[in-house]
Structure formats: C-alpha cells, structure tokens
Amino acid sequence: MGILCDVVDVVNIDAVRAAVDAGRDVVKRTPVVPSVTLSEMLGGTISLKAENLQRTGAFKIRGAMNKLASLGDAVNRGVTAGSAGNHAQAIAFAAHHRGVPCDIFVPAGASVSKIESCRGFGAVVHEVGSTISEALTAAKERADATGMSFCHPFDDPAVIAGQGTLGLELVEDVDDLACVIVPLGGGGLASGIAIAVKSQRPDVRVIAVQAAACAPFLGAQPADGPVLTLADGIAVKHPGAITRPLVEQWVDEVVAVDEDTIADAMVLLMERAKLYVEGAGAVGVAALMRGIAAPAALGTTCVVLSGGNVDLGVVPGLIRRRETQAGRRLTVFVKIDDRPGGLARLLAIFAEVGANLLEVQHVREGLDLHVRETGVRASFEVRGRDQAQAAIAAARSAGYDLHQE
C-alpha cells in the first residue's frame, strides 16, 4: 500500500508539467490531424495525434529525455536499456544528446532498422535472448556491473511523467476533447496521458488498447517465447508494478484488438491519412474500426498514433492483403500444357480483359500432373471484382480448369 501511495504522489500532474522542460530542446509538439475518413466512417469527430512524426519515430523520446534529466550527475556514468526497438532508439538518442555512454540490449530478431538507428546514435547494441524480458535482465545486469543507470521502458515514474507530456498537448490543442484512445503495452504512455488529461479534464474518457495476442491488462496469460503480432511495440507480457495501479486508477476502459484489424488500420492510415504508422501505433484506430471503442457523441475523440517505425518487410504483405480484400488482386491456379506457348496463351486471355500480370510461378512438385502438364500460379492486378470475375470466366470458357486462390 505504501508503494502505491508513493507512486501516486510522484506521478502526478506537477511531475508531468516539470517533464516538459526536460525535453524542450528535443521533443516535438506533434500535430493533431482531423480525420474526415474516420469521422465519416464511424460517426463523431475523430482526430489523430501524429506521434509517429516524433523524434526517433515514436513517443518514447518524451520519457527518455525526462529519465536522463532525473539522474542528475549519475547520468555521466552512462545508461543502459532493454527494448524491442522504440525505447532503445529513444534512450540512445537522449544519451547522444547528453553526450554520455549508452548500452542497449535487444532480443534476437529485433528490427534491423531500429538496431542500426541505435548504433547511429553511438550506442553499443547487444542482441540477447529471444524476449524483451531477457533483454531487460541483461540491461539491469550491465548497469549493476558498471555503475551505469538502468532505464526501464515503462515502469519508472520519470518515464511515465515524460510520456504524460503528450497528454498536456492534447488538452491545450483540442478545445473540445472528449475521448482519448491510446495504445497500451507496459502502461507508461497510457497512464501518463491519463494522468495529464484527467487531472485537468476529469470528464474526458481515456480508453487504452492492447493487441489481443498479448493483453495482460485484460487477464490474458502470456505464452512462453516471443509474441507473434504486428503490434510488437506493445507486446509486453507483464504490467509493471508501478503502471498497473496507475492504469487501474486513471484509465476508464481497456480493450483488445485482433491482428486482422490492426493490419486493416495500418493500411487505412497509409492509404487515406497518408500516415506511416506501426502496428502498435495503429491499435487505437483498429479499436474504432472493430467497434470495440466508440467515438464520443459530442466533442472530439483523439486517437494517439504512438509510433511510425514500421518494419519495411511487413509492408508488401499488408498491401497484398488489402488489394485482395478490395478485389484489386486476383490469384489463380491452373494446369496448362507444358509446351512452348502454353503459358503465353493463358496470359493472353487475361490481358484481353485488362488484367495486369504481377507474378507467375510454375508448380510441378506435389501435384497429380500429366507428363505434358505444368501447374501455374499467377497473380494479376485488376480494377475490381467484376473484372476479376470476367477474367476467370474468359479463361474457363477457353477450356482452362482454373481455381481462384
């Protein structure tokens, strides 16, 4: 009980306001962008807090700057951190800004671009274990062995207060703020924003969103090993000792969204809002699209897009999925004569109806084929479902046994 009281006393609106000075030379005041698309789609007035445009591509720089400022002279011995990427980049940037040593520990398989970013800021990066927990343990051990200061990604009052500066901006920039929807991983951002907002505007509703694949605030039991989710930035298996009670006290509701909806939200933001947002940053929009979070009937609902550090390898898959759902991508499998001109004759049929070939693959293994046959899997760009069906009908009329995939 004493620990909880101490936390509540330390992490308050005054601490959040004090954190503004710590990041004044570095932290950007990111824009709040009205979303006509989401407002028309879902009703209400919806805006997006574009924290994906923040320094290092995510909100984490707010907490990192405040954490290093809180260390006083001890910061000169250097800092360590364990993270899957965004917190690591923020601590590395903050350490570079302060001119102090920095050791970063990441789990194996962490984003190469984020690792290279940390190294670009002068940090020494160590890949250890396969989970964030193992990276955190290694970072703590390094701090204990060297006298460096360990910087927890979320379970730290200075970090929470720093993240809360985003909430101050929302209150100042959105006059009719009625609801804030924010991603929830370890709870530093969600609790910091909730404290900053509700201390001034207790009527504002704060909804926190987890990925269903890793939702410990909703009682989900974490599986062993890495979590497979597009929202890897919030795939935190255990709430913090500090953040859990703060989230329970200040956040009005916690919900979780599935992977398909996260993917849809990422593509929608790219396609309609022209904003490049990572899975963890898109969960608030996903919650609105899925209908598990509703925009306020009166006033503005602001969705926090917490980061934009998307792994480039994910993007082609998102685009293919979106094109298929929209009927703009057609993939078929068909058996053809394995003779010169066999493939050309098939493709000519699709070309005649305006289907544009994207890729083609011969499949000869694992199929019941005549010795003079080959299997072909081909993908086409089409203008919509009607054109796709016209192409399929034309091929079948020409005698091809074609299957849509």
Q: What domains are defined for the chain?
A: 2-58+157-317 (3.40.50.1100), 61-150 (3.40.50.1100), 327-404 (3.30.70.260)
Q: What is the pLDDT of residue 95?
A: 98
In the chain, the largest separation of any two C-alpha atoms, in whole Å, equals: 81
Q: What DSSP state is assigned to residue 388?
A: H
Q: What DSSP state is assigned to residue 217?
A: G
* pLDDT tens per residue across all 405 residues of the chain: 344 445 556 799 999 999 999 999 999 999 999 999 999 999 999 999 999 999 999 999 999 999 999 999 999 999 999 987 899 999 999 999 999 999 999 988 777 888 899 999 999 999 998 877 889 999 999 999 999 999 999 999 999 999 999 999 999 999 999 999 999 999 999 999 999 999 999 999 999 999 999 999 999 877 777 788 999 889 888 889 999 999 999 999 999 999 999 999 999 999 999 999 999 999 999 999 999 999 999 999 999 999 999 877 788 888 888 777 777 889 999 988 888 888 999 999 999 999 999 999 988 776 777 767 888 999 999 988 899 999 999 999 999 988 888
Measured CA angle at 161 (ends 158, 162), to 5 deg: 85
Other beta carbons within 10 angstroms of residue 82's beta carbon come to 31
- In this prediction the pTM is 0.86
Contacts by 271-275, CB closer than 8 A, 24 or more apart: 271/322, 272/37, 273/33, 273/35, 273/37, 273/48, 275/33, 275/48, 275/50, 275/52, 275/305, 275/308
Q: What is the pLDDT of residue 323?
A: 79
Host H or E run for residue 153: none
Q: What is the pLDDT of residue 160?
A: 98
Other beta carbons within 10 angstroms of residue 316's beta carbon come to 9
Cα(193)–Cα(166) distance, rounded to whole angstroms?
6
Contact between residue 329 and residue 382 where contact means Cβ atoms under 8 Å apart: yes
Q: What is the pLDDT of residue 371?
A: 67
Q: Token pair of 81, please? A: 């951190």
Contact between residue 215 and residue 256 where contact means Cβ atoms under 8 Å apart: yes
Measured CA angle at 367 (ends 366, 368), to 5 deg: 135
Q: What is the pLDDT of residue 8?
A: 55
- Give 50's strand partners: 305
Give the count of alpha carbons within 13 A of 146, CB side only: 19
